[in-house]
Amino acid sequence: MISTKGRYALRVMLDLAQNNDGNYVPLKDIAERQEISKKYLEIIVKEMVAGGLIVGASGKGGGYKLLRKPEEYTVGEILELMEGTLSPVACLADKDFDCSRRKECLTLPMWKEFDEIVHNYFYNKKLTDLL
């Protein structure tokens, strides 16, 4: 299940792509258009700035804008940043996950295959594919 964080982040990115005229877009406007609590979006957008997806500017005339061209973002990188991982199981999400049953695990190959399908799907989906 993708959480609201991931879903809202995606909608913020789409909103920014649709209002990508070079100016900063105030969060207030995004929150109103998307009907999402501005306060909650603050938390989300902060992570998006930290993650290098967008840039913020304080003060009057400030707001947020994309750092790259809309077609240069993939849905995968947005979701993965917000969700932490797209992997279906902990043993694939964590590089350091230590499972004593790893060698004999009958289900691991399936999770690996599925993980790749998910990864491929979202990383081949550009932000602009949704517009």
Partner DNA sequence: CTCTTTCCTACTATGTCAATAGGTTTTACT
Partner DNA sequence: AGTAAAACCTATTGACATAGTAGGAAAGAG
**Residues near its own copies (CB under 8 A):** 1-2, 7, 10-11, 14, 35, 75, 87-90, 93, 100-101, 106-107, 109-111, 114, 117-118, 121-122, 125, 129-131
- Pair of tokens at residue 72: 């240069």
Q: Among DNA, its own copies, none, what does residue 22 contact (CB within 5–8 Å per kind)?
A: none
Contact 127, 73 (CB under 8 A): yes
Report, in Å, the least distance between residue 39 CB and DNA.
4
DSSP string for 6-53: HHHHHHHHHHHHHT-SSS-B-HHHHHHHHT--HHHHHHHHHHHHHTTS
Does residue number 98 form part of the binding site for DNA (CB under 7 A)? no
Does residue number 88 form part of the binding site for DNA (CB under 7 A)? no
Which residue type occupies 56?
G
Does residue number 97 form part of the binding site for DNA (CB under 7 A)? no
Q: Among DNA, its own copies, none, what does residue 11 contact (CB within 5–8 Å per kind)?
A: its own copies
Contact 129, 16 (CB under 8 A): no
d(CA 87, CA 79): 11
| Residue with smaller CB distance to DNA, 62 or 70 | 62
Does residue number 39 form part of the binding site for DNA (CB under 7 A)? yes
d(CA 49, CA 116): 27
**Can you tell me which of 61, 95, 96, 100 binds DNA, judged by CB under 7 A?**
61
Does residue number 40 form part of the binding site for DNA (CB under 7 A)? yes
